[in-house]
Structure 1
Amino acid sequence: MELLYTGKTKDVFKQEDGLYVLKFKDDVTGENGVFDPGANTVGLTIDGAGLAGLRLTSFFYSKLNEQGVPTHYVDANFDEATMTVKPATVFGKGLEVICRFKAVGSFLRRYGAYVEEGQELDSFVEVTIKDDDRLDPPISADALDMLGILTLEEYAILKQRTIEISKFVGAELAKKGLTLYDIKLEFGRDAKTNEILLIDEISGGNMRAYKGEQYIEPLELEKIMLAE
């Protein structure tokens, strides 16, 4: 396989058949040794985090594929901690889409004058640009359209799918007595059909889940969700 890209939490390879392989690492995003799914730097390394993230990602993607939700997921190899995916192009240089059900994290830091911690949010969707140097700034639909990153029509699809997928993940967590506070998703275009696809991972590393008032760490989340 050809190494195409070395990322913060995953490396990307290309196979001879044109499919791509994501190799999950044990590095997670955060700051000062504290995990934060919204951070744009690697904050710490957690043994087993890569495989845990892959297992949970495979769990969610398999269910989404069964429901006909467009994703890049093909299959996973737990022994190698890898996931095979269809080729996709990103919007611009990459976007992250966050769906928020509770006011925590960066949302609370920015808008704390208007909300209280943990306050209910109505599936609030915000988009940020992947740009480490500029601390992943939020961007509006109009700006995305004006800058040629995606059209207003594409944004509408992005927003609708983000809410639908996030509510699905939240419902799966609720079956285990957990509450989803927020989740970070990524989308791209299918390299062949140009269809908007869900890409990257769906794991404890890109969401905040709580049991009552207790935050559930990514490794613990995987154990709870995949327990028989």
Structure 2
Amino acid sequence: MARRRQIYEGKAKTLFEGPEPNTIVQYFKDDATAGNGAKSGVIHGKGVLNNCISELLMQRLGELGIKTHFIRRLNMREQLVHAVEIIPLEVVIRNVVAGSLAKRFGLEEGARLPRPLIEFYYKSDALGDPLVSEEHITTFEWACPHDLDEICAQSMRINDYLCGLFAGVGIQLVDFKLEFGRLWEGEEMRIVLADEISPDNCRLWDMRTQEKLDKDRFRRDLGGVEEAYQEVARRLGIMPEGVRPEAAPGQGKRKDKGGN
């Protein structure tokens, strides 16, 4: 078997050159980080679960008419995606006060926002992914006003759909992060949803108990990290073969300490 060429390795995924022109193989790792790498560890089976969860959500959004980079899942840890030019922004959609929003404004975590809030962060680990305004984005030419309008419109549609999908299985979508890219087809370019959608980049709370079912369990040393990811997969009906809930040992081992 020919050795694949690695294109990029991030905190949660490794990207390889795809088998078809203008494609990439996205490999989901079990590695977990928080606080821009200040805290790191392993969540056993996370890569398998995130791959399957993201596959389902990307497919559902595609059926809704949202263009994504997803092509197909290759195996339990890999999926084939279109090669896109990533826009260097993290788009965060917030429905409920949590995380940094609560800290920045002294708000009570768990309070529902009167309407969904969209925030933009510049993708830079070295700078700590700073919060930026639309003026920053257009001035530094990370995206033009038309691109931003398209990103915001797609983000709101995605939020509306995912809120309903998760509510149907008893989960509240508190907030989540999206990334977008430019997909070139000849001379034509379109903005498409990229990266992943999983408990790694969503805050998901049980609607009845408010129990956290996402990476906050790792960030805040709450334990039961693997079980939380498995519960999300189970409720979505995609608990993959080979993952045994009873074997999950709890929170993955940490390599060093820190966090936000």
TM over 0.5: yes
For 1:57 and 1:123, how far apart are their aligned partners in 2? 22
The answer to whether structure 1 residue 5 and structure 2 residue 8 are counterparts is yes
Which residue of the partner structure matches residue 35 of structure 1? none
Describe the SS at the equivalent of 2:147: helix
Q: How does 1:55-94 map to 2 (within 5 A)?
A: 55-79=52-76, 81-91=77-87, 94=88
Which residue of the partner structure matches residue 161 of structure 2? 168
Report the Cα offset of residue 218 of structure 1: 2.7
Q: Percent identity?
A: 27
Which residue of the partner structure matches residue 199 of structure 1? 194
The answer to whether structure 1 residue 210 and structure 2 residue 205 are counterparts is yes
Question: Measured at CA, do residues 29 and 160 of structure 1 come closer, stay the same or move farther in structure 2, by a change above 3 Å?
Answer: farther
Which residue of the partner structure matches residue 224 of structure 2? none
The answer to whether structure 1 residue 219 and structure 2 residue 222 are counterparts is no
Describe the SS at the equivalent of 1:97: strand
For 2:231 and 2:203, how far apart are their aligned partners in 1? 12
For 1:85 and 1:3, how far apart are their aligned partners in 2? 15
Map Cα deviations across residues 7-62 of structure 1 (whole Å, 9 max, x no partner): 1100001124221110000012324xxxxxxx566632101000100000011111
Q: How does 1:51-200 map to 2 (within 5 A)?
A: 51-79=48-76, 81-91=77-87, 94-112=88-106, 115-121=107-113, 122-192=115-185, 193-200=188-195
Larger Rg: 2
Q: Is the 8 A contact 2:53 2:233 kept in 1?
A: yes
Question: Measured at CA, do residues 13 and 191 of structure 1 come closer, stay the same or move farther in structure 2, by a change above 3 Å?
Answer: farther
Map Cα deviations across residues 112-147 of structure 1 (whole Å, 9 max, x no partner): 1xx321111211000101111211001111110011
Q: Is the 8 A contact 1:145 1:152 kept in 2?
A: yes
Amino acid in structure 2 at the alignment position of 1:202? I
Question: Measured at CA, do residues 41 and 17 of structure 1 come closer, stay the same or move farther in structure 2, by a change above 3 Å?
Answer: farther
Amino acid in structure 2 at the alignment position of 1:108? A
Report the Cα offset of residue 96 of structure 1: 0.8
Amino acid in structure 2 at the alignment position of 1:223? R
Q: Is the 8 A contact 2:204 2:212 kept in 1?
A: yes
Unpaired segments of 5 or more residues in structure 2?
A: 214-227, 240-260
Amino acid in structure 1 at the alignment position of 2:91? V
Q: How does 1:36-47 map to 2 (within 5 A)?
A: 39=36, 43-47=40-44
For 1:77 and 1:166, how far apart are their aligned partners in 2? 27
How high is the TM-score relative to the length of structure 1? 0.89
Amino acid in structure 1 at the alignment position of 2:112? E
Match of 1:21 among 21, 25, 29: 25
For 1:201 and 1:41, how far apart are their aligned partners in 2? 22
Q: How many residues align?
A: 216
Question: Measured at CA, do residues 191 and 44 of structure 1 come closer, stay the same or move farther in structure 2, by a change above 3 Å?
Answer: farther
Which residue of the partner structure matches residue 36 of structure 1? none
Q: Is the 8 A contact 1:29 1:44 kept in 2?
A: yes
Q: Is the 8 A contact 1:176 1:224 kept in 2?
A: yes
